[in-house]
A and B are shown apart, each in its own frame.
Chain A
Amino acid sequence: DGGITQSPKYLFRKEGQNVTLSCEQNLNHDAMYWYRQDPGQGLRLIYYSQIVNDFQKGDIAEGYSVSREKKESFPLTVTSAQKNPTAFYLCASNPDSYSTDTQYFGPGTRLTVL
């Protein structure tokens, strides 16, 4: 059963804590992306990775960090430096970031800061 999985579906965090959101894909895709979505808003790009061991900042990278040690995994850490982290986080992948391919999205993680 191929696809992109994100865990957990819901995550609660206390202020000042770092949390890591998981994103795994078994589609053998080269490129992976993290987006943030706020209520009634579009998706804003946080980070993206076009190949293993390489990643680039998106439009709103401050307060976030990522790693890409394996092709299938692209975890996102929301650090305490992120001032307003409550949002819906979406991970996506596509076969080749240098072509016009469709993006495949995971089901999302809803993060709430208490």
Chain B
Amino acid sequence: SQQGEEDPQALSIQEGENATMNCSYKTSINNLQWYRQNSGRGLVHLILIRSNEREKHSGRLRVTLDTSKKSSSLLITASRAADTASYFCAPQGGSYIPTFGRGTSLIVHP
């Protein structure tokens, strides 16, 4: 099964700054999803981008997808302390079963 790899593994920023995290994958996909996990909790879906889309927005989130480079990025603008969490990408290929990498651990300092 396909797995996304997030980069960086850890990111520490100040409140108000933007946070960018990247995801790479290896084979063709139907879509790519981003999830968030607060410490000790389940994952929460943030946004889905389909393989024929290049950019998608949802509130302070902006996701891009470059299928030629097999990569995606998640940008959180004007970050808040409450954005502190781990973020996972989940590329979905032919099996339609999302698989998850190690995630990016984001800490936003007040």
Contact = CB atoms under 8 A, between A and B. Distances in A.
A45 B48 CA distance: 20
Interface stretch (A61-69, A78-86, A100-108): A100-108
Given A59-B1, A105-B44, A108-B41, A97 B96 contact: yes
A99 interface: yes
- At the interface, is chain B mostly helix, strand, loop or mixed? loop
B3 A99 contact: no
A45 B45 contact: no
Interface string B1-34: 1010000000000000000000000000011010
B102 A40 contact: yes
B42 A105 contact: yes
Contacts of A107: 41-42
Nearest to B88: A42
B14 to A, nearest CB: 24
Contacts of A43: 43, 88, 99-100
Contacts of A92: 42-43
Interface string B96-110: 111111110000000
A53 B98 CA distance: 22
Contacts of A103: 33, 35, 43, 45, 90, 98
Interface of A: 4, 33, 35, 40-43, 45, 48, 58-59, 88, 90, 92, 97-100, 102-108, 110
22 contacts: A4-B42, A35-B100, A40-B102, A41-B102, A42-B100, A42-B102, A42-B103, A43-B43, A43-B99, A45-B97, A45-B99, A58-B1, A92-B42, A92-B43, A97-B97, A98-B96, A100-B92, A102-B48, A103-B45, A106-B42, A108-B41, A110-B40
> A-B pairs with the 10 shortest C-beta distances?
A105-B42, A43-B100, A42-B102, A102-B45, A105-B43, A42-B100, A42-B101, A100-B31, A107-B42, A108-B42
